[in-house]
Each structure stands twice: as structure tokens, then as C-alpha cells.
Amino acid sequence: MTISETTSSARDSSVHTGLSADFPMTTGEKKVREVVNNELLVVVEFVLGADQLIHEEEPSPMPTVLHVLEGTIRFFIDGIEHELSAGDVAYMATGARHGGRSVSAARFSLVGLKQGGASV
């Protein structure tokens, strides 16, 4: 698995372009990268081949929105299975147990809201 990280400040606006071209769909290795990570939120992008584990079921550390950008994933939230495709969105409250795997090659992003972030 490839993981790349970035750090930024919530006080500074940022624009990230060319993300899909820089992080193409894959048929093999799962790729994960942080797009934004500051005091208030974290944005993480996942790219997976077909039938790849996202991760085993675990509790969400913060309120998080999952947005499927391409492909299809099978995702569990609090024991309920959901099949999510491009354009679908799921919300996980803090502590919600979640996990899943890709059905087809897929790209999705997670946006997590950090608790008690610095005021801007």
C-alpha cells in the first residue's frame, strides 16, 4: 500500500488540482494519500483495484463523510452493508464501526472533521 501525506494550516486556503491524473486508478496495489490535513479536518483519497480490502471493521475516530468518486465499494457501517457507487455519499458518526472492500476498481475520498479544532 502506498501512503503519501500532506500537512497544511486551516488558516490558509488551498487548491489541489490534477488529483485523478496524479493518482490513477489501479488494478493492483491499494493507494492512500492525504490531500489536506490541518487542525480542523483531514481529506484522504483511496484508490483500489477490484476486490481489495479497504480495512477491517473499526470505529471511526471522528465524524467522517465518504464520497465515492469512481467505481463501486461494499461498505459496512454499524453492521449494515451498503453498496456505494460513483456519486454516493455516506456519513459516519464518531465511533461508528465501519469497514469494507472494493467491488470494482474504485476511487473515494474521506473528509473527517477533527474535534476541538483550532479557531480560525
Mean local confidence (pLDDT), 3-18: 73
CATH code that applies to domain 2-6+34-113: 2.60.120.10
Domains of the chain, residue spans: 2-6+34-113
pLDDT band at 22 (very low <50, low <70, confident <90, very high): confident
Mean pLDDT of the chain: 88
Tell me the C-alpha to C-alpha distance, in Å, between residue 68 and each of 13, 82, 116, 118.
Answer: 24, 12, 27, 29
- Summarised one tens digit per residue, pLDDT across range 58-73 is 999 999 999 999 999 9
Give me the mean pLDDT over the 69-88 stretch: 97
User: Is the sign of the CA dihedral 40, 45, 51, 52 positive or negative?
Assistant: negative
